Amino acid sequence: YHYEGRTDDAEKFIAENHGKHRFGFQIKDRKKAFSDDLGFLPLEEEGYVLDIDYGAKKAVKRGIRNISGAYELTIGKKGISIYGYDEKGAFYGIQTLRQLFTHSQIPCLHIEDAPDFPHRGFYHDITRGRISTLPTLLRLVEDMAYYKLNSLQLYVEHVFPFRETAELVKKTGCI
């Protein structure tokens, strides 16, 4: 991460803006792609601006790395800006913002980030222990998105009977 800013910047920001706005955000989702991903934010018509956009040409001009998933996140006195190299990058910027919102204070900062590896994943052996339900697997995918993991591999052994392989299972005991 490239970080600029200090925690006292956040205190100054809060002191200067206390009483000027109710706490909330007005969303400027330029491509209208992220409304489902912003439920963690309180919305306010007169709130701080959260500006989200992406696009390779503009990203390169802004100095964002020429890598799928790259983004920059800036939190300043006038609001928050997320700009991604592509849609994936803007989404990852939103996840970083979600992680910052778990703290009691949010500093003014500038982050430039890009994935080091194209595939960051989780290997889940669903045949050991309790069998995962669909809601559990969907929650796992949500948690993976929060941590910017982009690949889920489910390991399945012979404990699940599949109609397509019924004869093979009868002969060998495995898929």
Q: What is the pLDDT of residues 1-53, one digit of tens each?
A: 333 444 444 445 445 555 554 568 889 999 999 988 888 888 888 888 999 99
pLDDT at 171: 65
Per-chain mean pLDDT for the chain: 83
Q: What is the pLDDT of residues 73-122, one digit of tens each?
A: 999 988 999 999 999 999 999 999 999 988 878 889 999 999 999 999 99
Phi/psi for 60 (5° steps) reads -65, -40
Q: What is the pTM of this model?
A: 0.76
- β-strands 121-125, 71-76: how paired? unpaired
End-to-end Cα distance, the chain:
45
